[in-house]
Structure 1
Amino acid sequence: MSSPIHTFMPRIEKKGDTGVTSSPIALQSSHNPTQSLPSVCNLFPKAFPNDYKSIEILAGDGNSPGSIRFITYGPSSELVKTSKEKIESVDLEKRSFTYSIMDGDMLKYYKSFTGTITVTPKDGGSLVKWSGEFVKTGHEIEDPHVIKDFAVKNFKEIDEHLLKQ
């Protein structure tokens, strides 16, 4: 049985080829992903093999700023097959972390892409806000709706997975 998860209206603010997209998601679990970044590397490919083939830590401990992860996505990711991400900041007190895309398929579409995840405790669960700041490679490139939708889907899946544990 699927948990009642609410996705609030996503937002996109744009100025030319630069923009920010965000989507808050209310989850039932109270999991704080900022405290378990290294476990994501093991959990996601095992729990969600259709989304993630592998996540490798290339530099650092996988938990602190400067750490670099290489992600190979599974068959459900049609747009992006690989990405190399750098953890830019981790704030355990504010329950947030920020990462940037350094290499991979996404840079075909976006000159730069930075994602931020913030988790706020709410009513025994969590309110997760994912936001992506982007610069397109050209005017013809669409806003990153597919990437936002993939992130929202992942949060819903991890929530359901954690509730079963």
Structure 2
Amino acid sequence: MKEVIEAINPHEKSIRWKIIEGDLLEMYSSFTIITSHQPQWTTWTFEYEKKTEDIPEPLILLGMVIDMTKDLEGHLLKN
């Protein structure tokens, strides 16, 4: 997938990405990922619009994000 950063909010410690190209847009009309960060806590938000009602929820992507977050946490805790 190819994305662009739509907004960075240093006060809220958040970043908003919009997907502009890739496999996700074959199933979803729009797809945006938002991360916000607090001490020892990160929130990931997916905003998307399905092209049809029978399109599944993006659980595979969610699983990848969870795995990536765990890997980052493990790396940061080692230092």
- TM-score between the two structures when normalised by the length of structure 2: 0.92
Shift of 1:140: 1.4
Corresponding position of 2:12: 94
Q: Does 1:155 align with 2:69?
A: yes
Q: Which residue number in structure 1 is paired with residue 44 of structure 2?
A: 130
> Following the alignment from structure 2 to structure 1, what is the Cα–Cα distance between the partners of residues 6 and 78?
31
| More RCO (CA 8 Å, sep 6+) | 1
Aligned counterpart for 1:119 among listed residues 37, 62, 75: 37
* Secondary structure in 2 matching 1:102: strand
Partner of 2:22: 104
Deviation >6 Å, runs of 4+: none
Structure 1 spans left out of the alignment, 5+ residues: 1-82
Equivalent residue letter for 2:73: D
Matched residues, number: 79
Match for 1:141 among 45, 48, 55? 55
Identical columns (%) = 30
**1:93 Cα shift?**
1.7
Mapped partners of 1:98, 1:111: distance in 2:
17
SS of equivalent to 2:30: strand
- TM-score normalised to the size of structure 1? 0.46
Amino acid at match of 2:45: S
AA aligned to 2:76 is L
Q: Which has the higher helix share?
A: 2
